[in-house]
Amino acid sequence: MAAPKIVVFAGSVRTGSINEKLAVAAAQSLAAAGAEVTHISLRDFPLPLYDADLQARDGVPAPARRLVDLFLEQQGAFVASPEYNASFTPLLKNTFDWMSRINIEGRPPLPAFKQRVFALGAVSNGAMGGYRGLTQLRAMMELGLGALVLPDMVAVGNASEAFSDDGGLKAPRTAAFLDEVVRKLVDHAARLA
């Protein structure tokens, strides 16, 4: 059986992003679990703020099309999403909004989000580890985009103490939970490969 292809990215492009650290840890865990990992930065896919008039005038921007093409090559995705005001980042929302505007003839609507599986994670300085933002992201992805999102979500609190020098998670229980979620993602994605 072919290794499932899984894209990994953070919903933040800030230098030193703690959620990018989680994306790195998830990518390492995914590779160890047998996935073919593509780790990207949304910085490489710059998009204007979604505007229906802009879309009508100029069409969907090329970076959104490139992202959809990339997602179509994957069976799964791990999204590390910062929590902003008990929700998720405007960057992530805007990216998914643009991606949702692409229709491909012969494919179901929202092609980047259908027929693949998603896992979510977050890191924050608070004790809840971004969990409130993850619940909002999950609702948008499932209800708005029709995505299949695994029920388990990785929420890592106390970010300043969460990562070891090698990029892994310090707390054994948290590291084991990330590995468990990643294994579920790989197992589900393998069925789609």
Assign 137 a pLDDT band (cuts: 50, 70, 90). Answer: very high
Task: Name the pTM for this structure.
Answer: 0.96
Name the strand (E) or helix (H) holding 67: helix 62-72
Please measure the distance between the N-terminal and C-terminal CA atoms of the chain and give it in whole angstroms. 8
Which pLDDT value is given to residue 2? 83
The 3-class SS string of 99-128 reads HCCCCCCCCCCCCCCCCCEEEEEEECCCCC
Residues 6+ apart with CB under 8 A from 150: 117, 118, 119, 120, 181, 184, 185, 188
CA atoms within 13 A on the CB side of 35: 32
Domains with residue ranges and CATH for the chain: 5-192 (3.40.50.360)
Closest CA to 74 of 157, 6, 3, 173: 6
Confidence of residue 180 (pLDDT cuts 50, 70, 90): very high
State the residue for tokens 């939970």.
177
